[in-house]
Structure 1
């Protein structure tokens, strides 16, 4: 393999050249060959045919064969047929080395492509999971919107019912008491102010009723008399006592 020292080969498309660099750097073309379309067969060309080709320009694939030990295959693979004569023995060895390198590159590329395919599969799986998560979140947001709307409707109904309840308590003239206790402490305090008058009415045997929020209704001789303040109710009770000759109602003021 000593003849490989300082040898360079180039591959441009399906064309292969190898050159020997002299002491002054001037290349000397030793031989010339061409691969077929599927890169399975290589055919050496005569020196005259090589000289007719234009020099290599542009982007080329250049590999330098260093002064190292080369492990060339003993036999050429079945899918790579070499059409070379017996006098081209060194060239055949170079072609075997090139073919071996090509197989190595192909295997590495296959491994890289397999890794890329695996990564693409993982990315697609993650994309599917993200899509499913977005759909679930969207459905949950729709459910929250419907719940908010339902709560708003219920709040409006509660407000309407409260207003109706207050109207019934204020306008129920046939009921002596409300169906539930007053909600406000101020209303309860105002009703307690009528307690002395109510005790006098009880002792006199006169019927009365307390309406919301603090209205005292006294019935006498089939007539109803309403009082919103304690002084008015006390004056009415004094008038009744004077007519009947009873003791007057004490004035808490």
Structure 2
């Protein structure tokens, strides 16, 4: 086998020399004229940069226009909000003024309602209501019947027969309760006759005519009667306890207990009194 040929060893250049040679080669390359491909590439880059600048400029302009539009809208909204706040403030002031007027009108309305109710009740002061008299018992002349009827049931309380200005039944016959007679309103010519009849009825406590139980009451307005009916529950309890009571105009409950009189203007006060009496009993 022939012996291998040994290559002669290569001599390595120093690092400083290699750097100098690299710089020389680079300078030579820069000194060489650029090719047409490199020039075309630079033009493309310039055009792309120019196009990018134009796009950016356009987008910036569009953005500024949008911002200016938003600013304009915000300014318009701020103006409208200011105007709306002024109108709301004015409306609140108007509402307060109107509320004061409404309160004043409500007070005036309540005063006038009470005044009308009082006038209506005063117009009925000479009237009495007769309950329980069967239908058609009065015949064809109601006034003549009443003038003979009252002295009979009140046992000659009147020195002379009372004079009635008019008398008539109220409302229509209830088809669901045909046996229930309608009330009779009696208007006396003399107020004193009305008072005599009412005092005699209260003194006798129970009135009967031909086996029928009848009652005499003051003739009051519907509003006053409604206010007095609120005490019906309390009056029922007082009757059960054997305590005397009565009604004062317009709607006050008067109770006589243990030799003392108590006047109650509200149902709550009367209920408290009944509870206290039951507790101490």
Q: Which band: TM-score by shorter chain? A: 0.3 to 0.5
More helix by share: 2
Structure scoring higher RCO (CA < 8 A, sep ≥ 6) equals 2
More strand by share: 1
What is the TM-score normalised by the length of structure 2?
0.33
What is the TM-score normalised by the length of structure 1?
0.36
